[in-house]
């Protein structure tokens, strides 16, 4: 087994591990971490692929750097959203909908022109 293959398998394993965690948990923070793990797996694969030729492929390195930037911003945004959602999770009151109130209205006010 070459080094390239080893890293590729490792990357795939990390990706799958993340996917597994994502599917198995419901907690938002855990799921976010799982997503990040998947991302790490992919970056590992990309860095490994860059080494398939020598000198290593600079394009893939550039892609990984770009991908990291995207991942960091997305994670920051997600964290903010998740914490905000968690904070208000408890305080939702159920006001009955107007339609359900109206449904109890009788048929007596049937439209004007009910000629047979």
Partner 1 sequence: MSTLFTWTSLLPVLIILSSLIPGLLIFATPEHARTRRTLLNMTGIVIKLILVALMLAGVSQGLTFRFEIPFLPSAPLVLHGDALSLQFIALSSILWLATTIYAIGYLEGSPLRSRFFGYFSLCVSATVGLALAGNLVTFLLFYELLTLSTFPLVVHRGTPAALKAGRVYLAYTLGGGTLLMMGVALLHSLVTTPDFTAGGYVLAQIEDSSLGLQIAFILMIAGLGVKAALVPLHSWLPQAMVAPAPVSALLHAVAVVKAGAFGIIRVVYDVYGVEASTLLALTQPLLWLAAVTMIYASIRALQQQDIKRRLAFSTVSQVSYITLGVALAGPIAAVGAIVHLVHQGLMKVTLFFCAGNFAETLGIHKVQEMDGLGQRMPWTMAAFSVGALGMIGVPPVAGFISKIYLGMGALEVGQPWVVLLLAGSALLNAAYFLPLLYRGWFGKPPADGWQKDNFKNHRFETHWMLLMPALFTALLSLLVGIFAGSILSPLGWSEFIVSREFAQ
Partner 2 sequence: MTYALVSLSIPLLSALVLMLAGARLSKRNAGIMAILTSLLSLVAAWFCLLDVAAANQSILLNLGGWENGLAIRLRLSPLSSLLLLFAAFMHVLIGIYAGFSRQSVSRDFWTLSCVLHGSLAALWLSADLFNLYITLELLGLTAVAMVALAGKKAYKPASNYLILSLVASLFYLLGVALVYGRYGSLDVVLLGLQTQSDTTTRIALLVMTAGLMLKAALWPLHLWLPAAHANAPTAVSALLSGLVVKGPIFILWLLWSEVAPVDLAQQIGPVLAVAGMIALVAGGLSAMRSPYLKTLVAYSTVAQLGYAMMALGLLMTWQLPQMHVALWLFVIAHGLAKATLFLAAGEMQTTLGTKRVSGLRGATQTVPVAMFAFAVAGGSLIGLPPSGGFLAKWVLLEPMLSSPQNWPWAFGVLLGTLVSAAYIFRVVAISFDRARINPPDVRPDRLGHWLALLPALMVWGMALIGEWLIEFLSGGGV
Binding site for partner 1 (CB under 8 A): 110-116
- Cβ at position 110, least distance to partner 1 in Å: 7
What is the Cα–Cα distance from 68 to 13, expressed in whole angstroms?
Answer: 19
Measured from the CB atom, the residue of 96 and 116 that comes closer to partner 1 is: 116
Measured from the CB atom, the residue of 1 and 114 that comes closer to partner 2 is: 114
18, 98, 103 from 37: Cα distances, Å: 5, 46, 51
Residue 67 binds what, of partner 2, partner 1, none (CB under 5 to 8 Å, by partner type)? partner 2
With CB under 8 A as the contact rule, the residue among 10, 17, 21, 82 that binds partner 2 is 82
Contact between 115 and partner 2 by CB under 8 A: the answer reads no
Contact between 5 and partner 2 by CB under 8 A: the answer reads no
In sequence order, the 6+-apart residues with CB closer than 8 A to the CB of 5 are: none
| DSSP at 92 | -
What is the Cα–Cα distance from 29 to 84, expressed in whole angstroms?
Answer: 12
Number of continuous H segments (helices) and E segments (strands) in the chain? 4, 0
| Short-list 36, 40, 39, 34, CA closest to 19 | 34
Give residues in contact with partner 2 (CB under 8 A): 15, 19, 22, 28, 31-32, 35, 38-39, 42, 45-46, 49, 52, 57, 59-60, 63, 66-67, 70, 73-74, 77-78, 81-82, 84-85, 88-89, 92, 97-100, 102-103, 105, 107, 109-111
């Amino acid at each position: 087994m070459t080094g390239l293959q080893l890293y590729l398998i490792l990357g795939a394993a990390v990706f799958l591990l993340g996917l597994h965690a994502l599917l198995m948990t419901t907690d938002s923070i855990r799921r976010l971490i799982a997503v990040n793990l998947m991302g790490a797996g992919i970056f590992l694969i990309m860095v490994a692929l860059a080494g398939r030729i020598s000198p290593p492929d600079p394009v893939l390195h550039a892609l990984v750097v770009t991908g990291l930037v995207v991942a960091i911003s997305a994670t920051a945004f997600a964290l903010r959203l998740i914490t905000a959602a968690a904070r208000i999770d408890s305080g939702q009151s159920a006001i009955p909908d107007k339609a359900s109130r109206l449904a109890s209205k009788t048929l007596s006010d049937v439209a004007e022109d009910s000629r047979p």
